[in-house]
Structure 1
Amino acid sequence: MASPHHLKFDGVSFTYPGSVRRVLTDITFAVPSEHVTGLIGENGSGKSTLLQLVAGVLEPDVGVITTPPVTGFIEQETQLPFSSPASEVIDAAVSELRDVEKQIGDLSSRLGDEPELADAFDAALATAEQSGVWELDSRIATVLAGLGLAKVPLETRLGEMSGGQRRRFALAALLLRPVDAMVLDEPTNHLDDEGVDFLISELKEFRGPVLVASHDRFFLDRAADSLVDLDAGLGPEGGAGEATRQGTVFTGSFTDYLLAREDIRRRWAELYVAQEHERARLEKATDQGESDIFHRDVSKSEVRTSAKFYADRAAKTLGNRLRSARGRLEALERDELPPPPARLKFHGIPEHTTLASLGEPAVVARDLWVDDRLGPLTVTIQPGDHWLIEGPNGSGKSTFLKAIDGKLQVTEGLLRIPEEVRITRLSQDDEWTDLDTPAGEIFAALVPPNSPTLVDMGLMNEETAARPLGELSLGQRRRVSLGVILASPPDILLLDEPTNHLSLALAEELEEALEEFPGTVLLATHDRWIRRRWAVRTNGRGKVLTLPGRWDD
């Protein structure tokens, strides 16, 4: 029987202490049992904040959040004890189920002497059946294998693992824990195709409500049956969705959402244009005088006898028309429709001169090995080529990019890159240390003089760029990293999971900008949305290098 629990938000608003900027305003929606609702919006729109409110990490200023008794939560930045082995994380997740098994053993041993325990024993058995206690070891193995962790020894300390492995162990713990609802923040980061497919199947089979914030377009399209967009720029009426002051609810898949959102924005723009035409007409009407209203030639014989008549009639007519125009203009300004907010648009990569020698390949790899993480690899990449580097976790995608960038030494084989070529790499995870300086100042210090600003590039608005980096979301920090790279474009652009933490809109705009980039691009990603459209979106320049999965990052 399905769980009757719901996640509910009723008029929820929140402002961080000491800040004058409200993050969330009057959020109202519900997530029923056996439903997956995707939470989306621009970077900094409050997605992670809303999830922390659900988890009880934060308290709303006003409004009510109703959650089921046991709500599992995984944050975007997983906090796990580095000194602990992975086995402790898994044991803690299933401890409640292990306790049921122990309770059954204890009751069974006492039942002969204490028959009054029969009801308790039956209840424990029923709980065990419903919770899958008897298949727990098999269930653990299934979850670990599904998330690509089957080959990681459970005695391995978490501090010895990669960030992706720790993240996947945290996700495994959530899936194994008996909960009534799940709240997930960017759960597909560090998952390969098989891992994403496994997570989708797990969420589809879960009997409680699921709320998930994600920038993974493929995942949202397959997993979610409704979406809540926290972007305030969706129009005052919400169009096809159910409008709140902030947040619009859409039913259907991510593809359905894209169509509905564009329809909302189109109709809002049309209404705004019509309003401004009417405003201009009324403003012109209020400036009219008698000569604008009456166009006549008066004969000399009429001058004396009718002058007063015409003057009185003109004054009355002019007064009525002016009062009517002014009244309608005041009504329009009182209830005026605001202009559609300008989207943060990525303006593309500035033009530059490619430094690669004509006729010489940008990258040549021959029987390339990097420790036991990559190899053997043979590939020739020409200047201006756009390559998609794909493969499961551990196949060496990041390793290959780091080797090209000079961050990892080649163990065997050949890796040749012309000396004059400039290379820039966007790493998979940002590592900022100066969190007290405004984002705009950090950006300006890292780019050449006269470079476009974050605002010029459409990556941030002025208010966000003026805030300290530590106050920004992971997605907003990612925009700074992206801007630093693209403000002074290199000959070879290395992008490692570039859409991680980016808003859906900016991810689309980044793809479009890369189509026109004249330099060489090597893009490593698990993003299936990008990969499915690679050949089309790169205007035929797109090539694919698939690395076999042999090791686990």
Structure 2
Amino acid sequence: MLSFTPSTSANTTPLRIDGLSVQIAGTRVLTDISFTVSAGQCVGLIGENGSGKSTLLQAVHGSLPTGATTAGHIDTGTSRIGLLHQQAPSAPDETVARALERAVAEQRRVLVDLDSASDPYDADAYAAALDRAEQLDVWGTDARIAATLVGLGLSRVAPDTPTGELSGGEQARLSLARLLLNRPDILLLDEPTNHLDDAATDYLVSILSEWKGPVLFASHDRAFLDEVASSLVDLDPAPTQAGTVGGVTRYTGNYSDYLIARREVRDRWERQFRDEQAELKRLRAGVRDSHTVGHPGAAPRTEGRIAKKFYGDRNAKVVSRRVSDSRSRLEKLEETQVRRPTEELTFAGLTAGGRVREPADGPVVVASRLSVDGRLAPVSLTLNGTGKLLVTGPNGSGKSTLLSVLAGVLPQDAGTLTVAGVRTGYLTQEVTLPDPQDRGPGRTVERTYRDLVGDDVAEQVPLSTFGLIHPRDESRRLAELSPGMRRRVTLAVLLADPPEVLLLDEPDNHLSLALVTALEKAIPEYPGAVVVASHDRWLRQRWAGERLAL
């Protein structure tokens, strides 16, 4: 059972995780996780999709799904913990103003308590109320609300707007605003930059740089990790002893430092495993061979009875000592040997599912003064059969709207669009798999893939083709998967029959760092046309194709 040790001390007590293990729906998600996050420290969680980053944050927050079984101990150091979920719940009829007021309710209450504790005969009560008011900076609450709305790009949203009328990106940024305004002592963030443009990301970086308490976050944003993380905790399998699983590897420095260090750790692990297996083979052979001394079949140097006994006794002692030494070394190495390095998923590429039809000569997509009222200002573009286009712009500039129009899922209000006899494939910003409950509560990953691509395609291009889903996860229920793993299934469905025009809206959302990097490397080699909409600074800095700034 998971145990917690809360404390009333704010900001200064570290977050300690000791031997944490979590099992959900019969699947072990985390095993024997231990590390500490000190006050004022920002620690980034990294690892493959499904490695348990979101689960770890939920465990610290105390919001694991019903039925989860846990073990270990979490010392939170405070009872005020705030978590930004990947998929934040919202009340559709609650106004923006009301949502923000709920976030600062603690600060409003503390200010009232301070006023009521002004009795000169109760100095202790007044001192305690004043200390708490100073911790929360209750006098700056209104200014902080205004600054947060500006910083996260929400200042133009009317306060009386129901949250249900906000776009998905606006709802995500409102959730982040509420969390920051609530000023929890321990801050937990799950993919905080998914819906942030450059200005909003810069604002979040500035806030985190001054945060007094421990900050633990999971992110796919490599530039953000570089700027914010003081150290990284890798939840992918660590080089532990054979027969044991779990544990983490902690890396000091930022993401760029991690890339170098992780490769070195992996190389050492593989080399140590190879050397230990060779030594085990030699020692096992040595135990067998140690039963014989000298040359088998050779007679003693004398036939005397006394000599025979002397040599026999000596040989017995030598054999016993050798066998004992060999067995001792063998037993010690068998106990301490590292386990076999886990097989890492390798993305097979954008065309693993088949060939893309030869591109036609000339443009395949032509848009002229294309616009959508209130969502996309007039834009024109021309894309040839092998063109690579990066669409950039701040939140609300219409990146997703443009891709939706190009994909044919949203009609334009003005302008013209010509798609010259090619198929388009569209990876939307959020996971678009059907609700697993609508397809039966027991629907597996493999069954979902087969239903969506068809039995014939699934036979020719099985899910294992892409290196996106580990074979052991194909039989899991879709409902059990993390958003990142469900997005991997969505990508596999899209690539089962690669289209001539590939539209990728924020392709780094929810996906692991390794997969995002592999996906980006594969884009220039795609034989068809590719349009990418992204705010990811790492991708933009390395983009070699054409650009369209909205």
2:437 equivalent to 1:463 = no
**Match of residue 531 from structure 2:** 522
Q: What is the alpha-carbon distance in structure 2 between the residues aligned to residue 456 and residue 212 of structure 1?
A: 32
Which deviates further from its counterpart, 362-371 or 495-504? 362-371
Alignment of 1:231-242 (within 5 A): 231-232=236-237, 234-236=238-240
Question: Are the equivalent residues in 2 in contact too, given 1:355–1:422 (CA < 8 A)?
Answer: no
Give the 3 Å change call, closer, same or farther, for CA 381–287 of structure 1 in structure 2: farther
**Match of residue 4 from structure 2:** none
Give the 3 Å change call, closer, same or farther, for CA 336–492 of structure 1 in structure 2: same
Give the 3 Å change call, closer, same or farther, for CA 245–528 of structure 1 in structure 2: same
Q: What is the alpha-carbon distance in structure 2 between the residues aligned to residue 136 and residue 273 of structure 1?
A: 59
Can you give the 5+ residue segments of structure 2 that lack an aligned partner in the other structure? 1-8
Which deviates further from its counterpart, 134-143 or 119-128? 119-128
Alignment of 1:337-416 (within 5 A): 337-350=338-351, 352-355=354-357, 358-416=360-418
**Match of residue 268 from structure 2:** 267
**Alignment match of 1:513 (pick from 512, 518, 522):** 522
Q: What is the alpha-carbon distance in structure 2 between the residues aligned to residue 468 and residue 342 of structure 1?
A: 22
Give the 3 Å change call, closer, same or farther, for CA 52–380 of structure 1 in structure 2: same
Is the partner of 2:547 in helix, strand or coil? Answer: strand
Q: Once the two structures are superposed, what CA deviation does each residue of 1:410-440 show, in whole Å capped at 9, x if it has no partner?
A: 2222211112x11100111113212531101
**Match of residue 443 from structure 1:** 449
Question: Are the equivalent residues in 1 in contact too, given 2:359–2:386 (CA < 8 A)?
Answer: no
Q: What is the alpha-carbon distance in structure 1 between the residues aligned to residue 121 and residue 506 of structure 2?
A: 60
Post-superposition shift, 1:530? 1.4
Give me the TM-score of the superposition, normalised by structure 2.
Answer: 0.85
Give the 3 Å change call, closer, same or farther, for CA 332–31 of structure 1 in structure 2: closer
Q: What is the alpha-carbon distance in structure 2 between the residues aligned to residue 289 and residue 169 of structure 1?
A: 73
Post-superposition shift, 1:71? 1.3
Q: What is the alpha-carbon distance in structure 1 between the residues aligned to residue 129 and residue 12 of structure 2?
A: 21
Q: What is the alpha-carbon distance in structure 1 between the residues aligned to residue 135 and residue 59 of structure 2?
A: 30
Q: Once the two structures are superposed, what CA deviation does each residue of 1:345-367 show, in whole Å capped at 9, x if it has no partner?
A: 10112365544653221211122
**Match of residue 158 from structure 1:** 163
Question: Are the equivalent residues in 1 in contact too, given 2:359–2:528 (CA < 8 A)?
Answer: no
**Alignment match of 1:170 (pick from 172, 175, 188):** 175
Give the 3 Å change call, closer, same or farther, for CA 337–5 of structure 1 in structure 2: closer
Q: What is the alpha-carbon distance in structure 2 between the residues aligned to residue 334 and residue 126 of structure 1?
A: 54
Give the count of matched residue pairs.
519
Alignment of 1:192-203 (within 5 A): 192-203=197-208
Post-superposition shift, 1:273? 2.6
Q: What is the alpha-carbon distance in structure 2 between the residues aligned to residue 174 and residue 334 of structure 1?
A: 47
Which deviates further from its counterpart, 164-173 or 266-275? 266-275
Post-superposition shift, 1:134? 2.8
Alignment of 1:489-500 (within 5 A): 489-500=498-509
Q: Once the two structures are superposed, what CA deviation does each residue of 1:10-40 show, in whole Å capped at 9, x if it has no partner?
A: 1221222x51x32211111111111111112
Which deviates further from its counterpart, 78-87 or 442-451? 442-451
Letter of the structure 2 residue corresponding to residue 416 of structure 1: T
Is the partner of 1:344 in helix, strand or coil? Answer: coil
**Alignment match of 1:26 (pick from 10, 29, 32):** 32
**Match of residue 72 from structure 1:** 82
Letter of the structure 1 residue corresponding to residue 519 of structure 2: L
Question: Are the equivalent residues in 2 in contact too, given 1:356–1:362 (CA < 8 A)?
Answer: no
Q: Once the two structures are superposed, what CA deviation does each residue of 1:430-480 show, in whole Å capped at 9, x if it has no partner?
A: 132125311012112323243433333211222211101001111111110
Question: Are the equivalent residues in 2 in contact too, given 1:74–1:185 (CA < 8 A)?
Answer: yes
Q: What is the alpha-carbon distance in structure 1 between the residues aligned to residue 470 and residue 430 of structure 2?
A: 23
Post-superposition shift, 1:84? 0.8
Q: What is the alpha-carbon distance in structure 1 between the residues aligned to residue 87 and residue 157 of structure 2?
A: 21
Q: What is the alpha-carbon distance in structure 1 between the residues aligned to residue 53 and residue 127 of structure 2?
A: 43
**Match of residue 52 from structure 2:** 46
**Alignment match of 1:181 (pick from 180, 183, 186):** 186
Is the partner of 1:61 in helix, strand or coil? Answer: strand
Is the partner of 1:78 in helix, strand or coil? Answer: coil
Q: What is the alpha-carbon distance in structure 2 between the residues aligned to residue 545 and residue 294 of structure 1?
A: 81
2:64 equivalent to 1:55 = no
Question: Are the equivalent residues in 2 in contact too, given 1:370–1:412 (CA < 8 A)?
Answer: yes
Is the partner of 1:28 in helix, strand or coil? Answer: strand
Letter of the structure 2 residue corresponding to residue 507 of structure 1: V
Post-superposition shift, 1:200? 1.1
Post-superposition shift, 1:199? 0.8
Letter of the structure 2 residue corresponding to residue 210 of structure 1: V
Is the partner of 2:74 in helix, strand or coil? Answer: strand
Question: Are the equivalent residues in 2 in contact too, given 1:32–1:209 (CA < 8 A)?
Answer: yes
Q: Once the two structures are superposed, what CA deviation does each residue of 1:336-384 show, in whole Å capped at 9, x if it has no partner?
A: 4322111111011236554465322121112221223112212211111
Question: Are the equivalent residues in 2 in contact too, given 1:356–1:418 (CA < 8 A)?
Answer: no
Q: What is the alpha-carbon distance in structure 1 between the residues aligned to residue 287 and residue 383 of structure 2?
A: 67
Q: Percent identity?
A: 43
Which deviates further from its counterpart, 464-473 or 509-518? 509-518
Q: What is the alpha-carbon distance in structure 2 between the residues aligned to residue 278 and residue 11 of structure 1?
A: 32
2:137 equivalent to 1:142 = no
Post-superposition shift, 1:142? 0.4
Q: What is the alpha-carbon distance in structure 1 between the residues aligned to residue 134 and residue 247 of structure 2?
A: 43
Q: Once the two structures are superposed, what CA deviation does each residue of 1:219-240 show, in whole Å capped at 9, x if it has no partner?
A: 11111101111111x3128xxx
CA RMSD of aligned residues (A): 3.5
**Alignment match of 2:497 (pick from 472, 476, 488):** 488
Post-superposition shift, 1:205? 0.8
Q: What is the alpha-carbon distance in structure 2 between the residues aligned to residue 75 and residue 349 of structure 1?
A: 30
Q: What is the alpha-carbon distance in structure 2 between the residues aligned to residue 357 and residue 261 of structure 1?
A: 40
Question: Are the equivalent residues in 2 in contact too, given 1:25–1:245 (CA < 8 A)?
Answer: yes
Q: Once the two structures are superposed, what CA deviation does each residue of 1:292-339 show, in whole Å capped at 9, x if it has no partner?
A: x9799x9xxx9xx99xx9xx99xx799899968788666655544322
Q: What is the alpha-carbon distance in structure 1 between the residues aligned to residue 476 and residue 267 of structure 2?
A: 32
Post-superposition shift, 1:46? 1.4
Post-superposition shift, 1:485? 1.1
**Match of residue 228 from structure 1:** 233
Alignment of 1:1-12 (within 5 A): 3-12=11-20
Q: What is the alpha-carbon distance in structure 1 between the residues aligned to residue 87 and residue 393 of structure 2?
A: 24
Can you give the 5+ residue segments of structure 1 that lack an aligned partner in the other structure? 238-242, 536-541, 548-553
2:42 equivalent to 1:36 = yes
Alignment of 1:204-215 (within 5 A): 204-215=209-220
Q: What is the alpha-carbon distance in structure 2 between the residues aligned to residue 57 and residue 144 of structure 1?
A: 27
**Match of residue 548 from structure 2:** 545
Is the partner of 1:174 in helix, strand or coil? Answer: helix
Is the partner of 2:121 in helix, strand or coil? Answer: helix
Q: What is the alpha-carbon distance in structure 2 between the residues aligned to residue 286 and residue 12 of structure 1?
A: 40
Post-superposition shift, 1:281? 5.3
Q: Once the two structures are superposed, what CA deviation does each residue of 1:203-248 show, in whole Å capped at 9, x if it has no partner?
A: 111111111122221111111101111111x3128xxxxx994212
Alignment of 1:471-486 (within 5 A): 471-486=480-495
Give the 3 Å change call, closer, same or farther, for CA 287–195 of structure 1 in structure 2: same
Give the 3 Å change call, closer, same or farther, for CA 334–433 of structure 1 in structure 2: same
Q: What is the alpha-carbon distance in structure 1 between the residues aligned to residue 127 and residue 371 of structure 2?
A: 60
Is the partner of 2:148 in helix, strand or coil? Answer: helix
Q: What is the alpha-carbon distance in structure 2 between the residues aligned to residue 244 and residue 440 of structure 1?
A: 26
Q: What is the alpha-carbon distance in structure 2 between the residues aligned to residue 224 and residue 480 of structure 1?
A: 29
